[in-house]
Structure 1
Amino acid sequence: MSFVGARWWKFDFHTHTPASFDYGKSDSSLKASKTAKAWLLDYIAKGIECVAVTDHNSGDWIDRLKDAAVNLRAEGYSIFVFPGVEITANSNIHVLGVFDPRATSADISAVIGASKFRGTKGDSDSVAEESAENVIREIISAGGVAIPAHIDMKAGLCQQHSSHTIGQVCRHASAVEIIFPDQERIDAPLSRYTNLNIDLPSIIGSDAHHPNDIGRAYTWVKMSTPSIEGLKLALVDGSSSIIRSDNETTDPNSSSNTLLRSVTVENAKYAGRSAPLKVEFNPWLNSIIGGRGSGKSSILEFIRLGMDRARDFDLLDRDNEIRRSFESFTKISASRDSDGVMLVNTRINCVYTRDEIHYLLTWTKENNRVSISRYDGQQWIPEEGG
């Protein structure tokens, strides 16, 4: 069962396939034998769900990986390919471009061409004619997000001595990739960037050129579904929707062991008449917003009935205002203008999870009681004593 709303996705922003010359490092047989499915399974084994494919100046493996991801999702795996590229801009500055999962190898090739790259695809030492600033402009213009790669390392932006140049590049970028945020590297001092006080989100990827490198670094991204729109929004939100793996050692998706997933109302006076009214809930934050009389309190009362908590009112005096309001709510409405929200055949279903087991609680006005069923993976099985 899945939840409505946003959650955290384990995202590797920087990866390489056999399309990159240096994939496999010294293991030439790995470069020749690795299939698209096997490549993705390496990431799945490390819990990665979103992978940006960023080969050196090449998008040749994009289409085959997208096809393999479709097949793997059909097998029950959660894996999404974000087509991308790592372009070596003029002055040997590497820039990551990440695009929507619908983008193709041809789309990536178009961006590479627009960057005036005329070298050998897959070769990181081949340099585009355009500057890093213009490469970023081309990536953004094509609908992607542009990220100067490993800015504090060799072939990173901070090897530039001019703070003006670094500032110009970053003002157009979507984020920056920083490998060692707390260290100064001799070849590319990070202070050349941090001293500019530019408020860009910091991400990190594995930059994996070998299966052994996968999972060493990644970024948690908060999105409802994997898409370029969700990624862009997360980057705009910054620290509230982006968490580097070196800042989070646990799964940020962790939640309570008991969660209400949904409430469904059928045949109430103002809800569920023509079709059931279903409200699904997120495990971390839910807001009920509406004007006076729009039904905010009614949703809570439906949940109270469906979760078998109406008996809590037995502890209150009969003249208690809250109790009297609830008792009025549960009356069968005799007419449009009379008290009561219930009808004779009103039914309320609540689905909740406890210790990873899913339960269905069903309340009916006819019986005025709750029955319980448990989900066995295929169907709801009535629980004894429900």
Structure 2
Amino acid sequence: MFDNGTEWIRADFHLHTRADKEFSYLGDDDRFISDYIDALKEQQIKMSVITNHNKFNLSEYKGLKKKAKKNGIMLLPGVELSVKEGSNGIHCLIVFKNEDWISGDTEKINQFLDEVFKGIDNREKENTRCNMDLEHTVKCLDSYNNDYFIMMAHIEQKSGFLKECNGGLITSLSSKKWFKDNILGLQKGRARKEMKKLKGWMGYEIPYIEGSDCKSVEDIGKGNPCYIKIGDGNFDSVVLAFKDNQNRISLSQKKYNHGYIKSIQFIGGKLDAQEILLSPELNSLIGIRGSGKSSIIESIRYALDIAPSTADKEYKNDVVKNLLESGGQIILNLQDDYGKEYKVKRVYGETPHILDHNDKEINISINTILQTPLYFGQKDLSYMDSGYELNLLNKLVGENLSGFEESLRKVNNRLNNDVSKLLDLEEEIEKIPELENSLSDIRHKIKIFEDKGLAEKLIKQVNFQKEANYKFNPNKPGIF
């Protein structure tokens, strides 16, 4: 199911089946399981939880689980439980760890249900509340010493956590350790305003998830989808995703918009008929010294026609020769940025050949598919000579720098101009003390003139001079 490591798959955390009184199925009895799993496949749901109202049917669950597994679908046991909280009770989706709660033909889920519904008839009805509130329900679950987790169902609707509880109760409940440890998700959070209030009351966030809450086979997968990133089809992987929900739980489908190597195949040589599947994200090769990690890396480099560094060129060439031997071939299955698939085939000693999805050879470069792949061997990283860091940075982001060169030039020019203006201002500022001294001298002289009456005489002299110039102006005839 997870040959390529962790992957994003669609999940439905709230499913009902024919065992639920609210579920309607009009088909043949012997077709129900097949029809149900076919509906999950049609909706591309690969992770699902059966959560019937206050009920768990072991035989039906085992039949569905077996069929689901054959079709690459993960199925977990659960129950939708109505606890005694709020005016109408709160519906909780409890997910049980299969290995803990079920053993062969026996299970402890109904034992738990019998305990919380002790003395209550008709518990299989949708809104029949159990004897316990949320806190005591958690304590009862903990008494079994088996793994589980809880999600609050359809929180904005009737019998939902947000609908039935006020802010004070939500603040009180969500502050408890038992709540934080066990309540891992909220289903069907829609209104942004309400979600903002909920976050304020709780003081922290837990992920929103989705579930179709189906009442028929036709309803399976209807409504908003959600996705989970897991690497194994078991309960623990799901819990891990919830614990790292910012990176592993999403309400929108995640797509990979970059080229990558999907798999490596070997024909001939020491790894004849071996295939290594890779993830579009981070891949790690783990093994003891001499286990072949470098051989695989060097064979990828060789297939991509990347020249080895001069640091240990002879060693790297020998590694590839020793792995592929005479006539050995490596095949890389690639995907480009647009989702198109290609193959790169290279026989040892020959040039690479690139084929399209129809295995037809095409005349394009590898860089067209993988956008200039980078390769660094262990020794490449250890030989850090002068300028190594800048060269490495240029290789990693160099292609993105060209578009910013013009902007960088303009910013540099503006910076130079601003610095020049700043220096000019500093020069002017330095002159201020000198100008202030000159101004003080001038004011002192003016005061002396005023004290001696020279200012008035000076004004008269200036006016007289203006009048004389006016009368004897040679450029104005008739004036004398």
Normalised by the length of structure 2, the TM-score is 0.60
**Equivalent in the alignment of 1:21:** 21
1:85 aligned onto 2:79:
yes
**Equivalent in the alignment of 2:130:** 128
**Equivalent in the alignment of 1:167:** 175
Report the alpha carbon displacement of residue 111 of structure 1 after superposing the two structures with TM. Answer: 3.0
- The change in CA–CA distance for 1:137 and 1:372 in structure 2 (over 3 A counts) is farther
Range that drifts further, 6-15 or 108-117: 108-117
Q: Deviations over 1:297-343 (max 9, x none)?
A: 554322122x251xx54xxxxxxx8146334422489xxxxxx8568
What is the alpha-carbon distance in structure 2 between the residues aligned to residue 183 and residue 193 of structure 1?
Answer: 10
Report the alpha carbon displacement of residue 10 of structure 1 after superposing the two structures with TM. Answer: 0.7
- The change in CA–CA distance for 1:323 and 1:233 in structure 2 (over 3 A counts) is same
The equivalences for 1:291-330 within 5 A come to 298-305=295-302, 307-309=303-305, 312-313=306-307, 322-323=309-310, 325-330=312-317
**Equivalent in the alignment of 2:452:** none
What is the alpha-carbon distance in structure 1 between the residues aligned to residue 224 and residue 324 of structure 2?
Answer: 56
Q: Which protein is bigger by CA-based radius of gyration?
A: 2
Range that drifts further, 193-202 or 343-352: 343-352
Report the alpha carbon displacement of residue 237 of structure 1 after superposing the two structures with TM. Answer: 0.5
Is the contact made by 1:13 and 1:204 (CA closer than 8 Å) also made in structure 2? Answer: yes
Helix, strand or coil for the counterpart of 1:85? strand
Helix, strand or coil for the counterpart of 2:128? coil
Helix, strand or coil for the counterpart of 2:150? strand
Q: Which structure shows the bigger proportion of residues in helix conformation?
A: 2
Is the contact made by 1:66 and 1:81 (CA closer than 8 Å) also made in structure 2? Answer: no
Q: Deviations over 1:3-49 (max 9, x none)?
A: 4210012110111122222224xxx8579898222223222222211
Is the contact made by 2:55 and 2:110 (CA closer than 8 Å) also made in structure 1? Answer: yes
What is the alpha-carbon distance in structure 1 between the residues aligned to residue 139 and residue 351 of structure 2?
Answer: 63
Report the alpha carbon displacement of residue 2 of structure 1 after superposing the two structures with TM. Answer: 6.3
Report the alpha carbon displacement of residue 234 of structure 1 after superposing the two structures with TM. Answer: 0.3
**Equivalent in the alignment of 1:361:** 345
Unaligned 5+ segments in structure 1 are 314-320, 334-339, 377-381
Fraction of identical pairs, as percent: 18
**Equivalent in the alignment of 2:439:** none
1:205 aligned onto 2:211:
yes
Give the counterpart letter for 2:147 in structure 1. G
Is the contact made by 1:160 and 1:166 (CA closer than 8 Å) also made in structure 2? Answer: no
1:350 aligned onto 2:304:
no
- The change in CA–CA distance for 1:36 and 1:170 in structure 2 (over 3 A counts) is same
Report the alpha carbon displacement of residue 51 of structure 1 after superposing the two structures with TM. Answer: 1.4
Supply the RMSD in Å over aligned alpha carbons.
4.1
Is the contact made by 1:97 and 1:146 (CA closer than 8 Å) also made in structure 2? Answer: yes
Report the alpha carbon displacement of residue 349 of structure 1 after superposing the two structures with TM. Answer: 2.8
Is the contact made by 2:117 and 2:123 (CA closer than 8 Å) also made in structure 1? Answer: no
1:70 aligned onto 2:62:
no
**Equivalent in the alignment of 1:113:** 114
Helix, strand or coil for the counterpart of 1:38? helix
Report the alpha carbon displacement of residue 218 of structure 1 after superposing the two structures with TM. Answer: 3.2
What is the alpha-carbon distance in structure 1 between the residues aligned to residue 319 and residue 14 of structure 2?
Answer: 60
Unaligned 5+ segments in structure 2 are 364-480
1:148 aligned onto 2:132:
no
**Equivalent in the alignment of 2:188:** 179
Give the counterpart letter for 1:330 in structure 2. N
What is the alpha-carbon distance in structure 2 between the residues aligned to residue 183 and residue 343 of structure 1?
Answer: 58
**Equivalent in the alignment of 1:281:** 278
Is the contact made by 1:37 and 1:69 (CA closer than 8 Å) also made in structure 2? Answer: no
- The change in CA–CA distance for 1:351 and 1:384 in structure 2 (over 3 A counts) is closer
Q: Deviations over 1:74-109 (max 9, x none)?
A: 4xx332211110111123121111124555483431
Is the contact made by 2:68 and 2:74 (CA closer than 8 Å) also made in structure 1? Answer: no
Is the contact made by 1:260 and 1:350 (CA closer than 8 Å) also made in structure 2? Answer: no
The equivalences for 1:20-59 within 5 A come to 20-24=20-24, 29=26, 35-59=32-56
Range that drifts further, 289-298 or 123-132: 289-298
Report the alpha carbon displacement of residue 369 of structure 1 after superposing the two structures with TM. Answer: 5.5
What is the alpha-carbon distance in structure 2 between the residues aligned to residue 183 and residue 31 of structure 1?
Answer: 43
Q: Deviations over 1:269-321 (max 9, x none)?
A: xxx6xx9886542112224578999976554322122x251xx54xxxxxxx8
**Equivalent in the alignment of 2:433:** none
What is the alpha-carbon distance in structure 1 between the residues aligned to residue 94 and residue 203 of structure 2?
Answer: 23
Helix, strand or coil for the counterpart of 1:208? coil
Helix, strand or coil for the counterpart of 1:217? coil
What is the alpha-carbon distance in structure 1 between the residues aligned to residue 268 and residue 115 of structure 2?
Answer: 57
Alignment match of 2:94 (pick from 97, 100, 103): 97
Is the contact made by 1:95 and 1:147 (CA closer than 8 Å) also made in structure 2? Answer: yes
